[in-house]
Amino acid sequence: MTPQVFAAIEGCAARLRSSDRLDAAAVAVLRGTGVARMLQPEDYGGFATHPGDFAEAVMTLAALHGPAGWVAGMVGVAGWQLAMAPRRGRDEVWEADADTWVTSVLEPAGTLTPAADGYRLTGCWPAGLGIDHGDWVLLGARLDGGPRRVHVLVPRAELRIVAESHVVVAGAAVPGYRVLDYHALVSGAAAAGLRNPIYRMPFRIIYPLGVGAAVIGMAEGALARHPHDGAAAEIRAARVALLDTVTKSFFAALDGGLDTVDSALRAGLCEMAAP
């Protein structure tokens, strides 16, 4: 558990309830809660906590302030993924500031082309909520236009946001240590050498966790304002299913194995996973 995170959320509840916009003030409050660092490695100032605790924190935030919960979920999950990047990439992002945010758009809409000094990335992606508040972005791409999928770490300054709906990158230079192999993430090979079992949990369990928790939290917030018995039962069932799935996967990883995605499929979580 990370009680300090939940205490921080409780302490800023009134400020979050006072606005439904994700403005600079709301972002500052969100950073202060520490939710975005819950899945981040301890070596880099994170908590590396049970993903169920992370999901509950996101639900709590989203019930108070929908956009803040959504962004916390996205940034938190991106931090989990970055834990499996090459060390030099992790150092570049977090060594100077543990509160550096990474967001993600993992649709493989870009092309990563080999170059003499690494790679070049070009593509156009849908702009996710909160991408303009991140310092770095993980973008999905295909290597040299072929079938091999990769996730590419790019500084926010290399992106151009068009009409608040799309993100464009045109020939950005990418060193090899900023590239994560999608198959290695999905197979669990990328987690080799990491001691904490949360990094051995399946990508298709963790990737949709932030968004799934945010949606449930927003529904809980709406329900608190407009009670409805039938909706309450459905929302409660969704919460239980999500937390049960994550907990079972965590214990499977704790036992030393990489869990399958069967439990995620049963819970319907994979419907939101990366294509």
d(CA 133, CA 131): 5
pLDDT number for residue 266: 47
DSSP 90-109: HHHHHSS-TT--EEEEEEEE
Under the banding of pLDDT at 50, 70 and 90, the label for residue 217 is: very high
Residue 71 in this model has a pLDDT that exceeds 50: yes
Q: pLDDT for 198-213, tens place per residue?
A: 999 999 899 999 999 9
Place 24 in a pLDDT band, splitting at 50, 70 and 90: confident
From the list 115, 91, 125, 118, the residue with the least C-alpha distance to 174 is 118
What is the mean pLDDT of the segment spanning 18-41? Answer: 87
pLDDT band at 146 (very low <50, low <70, confident <90, very high): very high
- Amino acid at position 263, single letter: S
Listed in sequence order, the DSSP H helices in the chain are 3-11, 13-17, 24-33, 51-64, 66-82, 87-94, 182-187, 203-206, 209-225, 229-254, 262-267
Domains and CATH numbers, the chain: 3-49+67-181 (2.40.110.10)
d(CA 15, CA 9): 10
- Strand residue runs (E) in 116-214: 118-126, 136-143, 149-155, 160-162, 166-174, 179-181
Q: Among the listed ranges 13-22, 77-86, 114-123, which one has the minimum average pLDDT value?
A: 13-22
Average pLDDT over residues 134-144: 96
